[in-house]
């Protein structure tokens, strides 16, 4: 491991407690506590780790049927919901975790907390829209010829604030941050993932609001029981790993507190509550040439009780190779998020990005974390930030000030999804989306 991780982490971590199979940093302790496992895994984190890297995907997997097709006639029109406006949270995996940071920093007054899994930090890299340059600066897929410094990203944040491209960073004070990183990741080293601490700490200004877990794990979203062991390559398991705990639960419980309960043993989410919605009506207010790299369809999960009472709202952003175009709902259905939402009065929205296809700058369907849609991609003027903000405005019943005609979905009756691959079917008879 890069010695930089040891040097700067040691200066900011007030206490440590190791539990389960990972390393937890509880930043509120006044006295450091050290422990180790029988398999010496504690020292595996602090000493160099023999990490096995996997070749970058050379051939894009077969896309799910119907990817990128204008099949909005088979979707629902996103509607307003009764949600707690002061407790809206975000999370994401891989590029989705980095994009969640971009959305929060752009609109810092809207979100109370964020969780990032197996990610890079905000505004890492030159931001010139070239994937190879981003890889060389921020990932271990590239040649690491130009590693980026989080201090440069912090300088960008200050500049964006002065230019009015993001909301006041003072809004981030005391906002909660949960980070998960795998020390065996084939995409991001710990410098890239834990670099988010250096970005957020001067802004949050509260050590108790930051929680970090580092595991001896590959590039994945941790689950309690899906996939293979954490150390194994998770690409063939939807980038989900059986890590002995639910990352979704641990993150949301930290962000929202004890009001979030673990799903009862054996609970399976009611997939009738999982619906496709039309993303295309939110493709407005985009600067430049209007390119956004968003799919036509997104997902929303609404527990039945959330039609009768106020619920929490959470947005989850998939990672590269895990969006609808590659595996339909499979990543989302097996992530643990739906059971968590079912058990905790939580509306889950999962917007979907779209790749460029083989040979393009974004062939594996990542969120724009390197300037693909333009130089302002990480600010309020970013195309994908704008689209998701438009969705949020609909859900929360806000007036964005855009004067426009909203197209009416011509086929409001629920239809079976053509991207499901047999995992689930979406129905609307109990959804309130008639």
Tens-place pLDDT, residues 250-288: 999 999 999 999 999 889 999 999 999 999 999 999 987
- H or E segment at 325? helix 324-327
Res. 300 pLDDT band, cuts 50 70 90: very high
pLDDT digits (tens, 9 = 90+) for 322-359: 999 999 999 999 999 999 999 999 999 999 999 987 77
Q: pTM for the full model?
A: 0.79
Show Cβ contacts of residue 304 under 8 Å, excluding neighbours closer than 6 positions. Answer: 270, 273, 430
Question: What are the structure tokens assigned to 297, written together?
Answer: 């369809």
Q: Are 371 and 128 in contact, with CB atoms under 8 Å apart?
A: yes
Res. 125 pLDDT band, cuts 50 70 90: very high
How many CA atoms does the CB half-sphere of 111 hold within 13 Å? Answer: 28
Mean pLDDT of 12-21: 37
- Rounded Cα gap, residues 241 and 312, in angstroms: 26
pLDDT value at 202 more than 50: yes
pLDDT at position 22 = 46
- Is residue 157 helix, strand or coil? helix
pLDDT value at 3 more than 70: no
Res. 52 pLDDT band, cuts 50 70 90: very low
- Rounded Cα gap, residues 95 and 320, in angstroms: 6
Which one has a higher pLDDT value, 221 or 420?
A: 221
Q: Are 16 and 33 in contact, with CB atoms under 8 Å apart?
A: yes
- Rounded Cα gap, residues 432 and 434, in angstroms: 6
pLDDT at position 361 = 78
- H or E segment at 223? strand 221-223
pLDDT digits (tens, 9 = 90+) for 233-245: 999 999 999 999 9
- Rounded Cα gap, residues 314 and 337, in angstroms: 10
* Helical axes 383-396 vs 95-106, angle rounded to 10°: 70
pLDDT value at 430 more than 50: no
Nearest residue to 312 via CA among 175, 116, 113, 173: 113
pLDDT at position 264 = 93
pLDDT at position 63 = 36
pLDDT digits (tens, 9 = 90+) for 140-161: 987 777 789 999 999 999 999 9
**Rg of the Cα atoms in the chain:** 20
- Rounded Cα gap, residues 210 and 189, in angstroms: 20
State the sign of the Cα–Cα–Cα–Cα dihedral 369, 375, 380, 381.
negative
pLDDT value at 39 more than 50: no
pLDDT digits (tens, 9 = 90+) for 383-417: 999 999 999 999 999 854 333 333 322 222 222 23
Res. 66 pLDDT band, cuts 50 70 90: very low
Average per-residue pLDDT for the chain: 79
pLDDT at position 74 = 66
């Amino acid at each position: 491991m890069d010695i930089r991780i040891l040097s700067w982490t040691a200066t900011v971590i007030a206490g440590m407690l190791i539990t389960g199979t990972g390393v937890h940093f509880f930043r509120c302790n006044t006295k450091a506590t050290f422990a180790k496992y029988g398999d010496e895994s504690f020292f595996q984190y602090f000493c160099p780790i023999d990490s096995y890297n996997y070749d970058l995907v050379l051939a894009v997997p077969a896309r799910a049927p119907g990817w990128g097709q204008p099949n909005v006639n088979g979707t629902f029109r996103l509607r307003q919901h009764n949600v707690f406006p002061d407790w809206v949270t975000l999370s994401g995996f891989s590029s989705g975790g980095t994009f969640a940071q971009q959305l929060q920093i752009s609109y810092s007054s809207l979100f109370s907390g964020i969780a990032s899994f197996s990610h890079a930090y905000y505004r890492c890299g030159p931001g010139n829209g070239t994937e190879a340059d981003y890889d060389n600066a921020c990932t271990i897929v590239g040649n690491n010829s130009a590693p980026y410094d989080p201090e440069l990203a912090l300088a960008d944040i200050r500049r964006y604030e002065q230019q009015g491209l993001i909301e006041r960073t003072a809004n981030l004070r005391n906002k909660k941050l949960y980070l998960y990183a795998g020390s065996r990741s084939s995409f991001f080293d710990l410098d890239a993932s834990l670099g988010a601490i250096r970005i957020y700490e001067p802004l949050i200004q509260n050590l108790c609001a930051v929680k970090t877990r580092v595991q001896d794990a590959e590039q994945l979203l941790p689950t309690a029981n899906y996939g293979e062991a954490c150390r194994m390559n998770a690409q063939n398991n939807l980038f989900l790993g059986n890590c002995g705990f639910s990352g979704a639960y641990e993150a949301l419980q930290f962000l929202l507190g004890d009001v979030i309960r673990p799903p009862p043993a054996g609970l399976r989410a009611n997939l009738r509550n999982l619906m496709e919605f039309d993303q295309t009506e939110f493709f407005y207010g985009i600067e430049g040439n209007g390119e956004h790299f968003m799919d036509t369809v997104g997902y929303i999960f609404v527990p039945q009780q959330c039609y009768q009472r106020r619920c929490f709202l959470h947005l989850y952003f998939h990672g590269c190779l895990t969006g609808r175009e590659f595996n339909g709902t499979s990543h989302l259905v097996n992530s643990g998020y739906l059971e968590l939402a079912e058990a905790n009065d939580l509306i889950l929205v999962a917007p979907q990005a779209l790749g460029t296809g083989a040979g393009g700058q974004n062939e594996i369907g990542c969120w724009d974390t390197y300037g693909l849609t333009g130089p302002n991609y990480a600010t309020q003027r970013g195309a994908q930030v704008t689209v998701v903000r438009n969705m949020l405005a609909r859900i929360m019943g806000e007036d964005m000030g855009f004067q426009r005609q909203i197209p009416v979905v011509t086929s409001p009756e629920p239809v079976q999804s053509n991207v499901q691959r047999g995992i689930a079917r979406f129905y609307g008879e109990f959804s309130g989306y008639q």
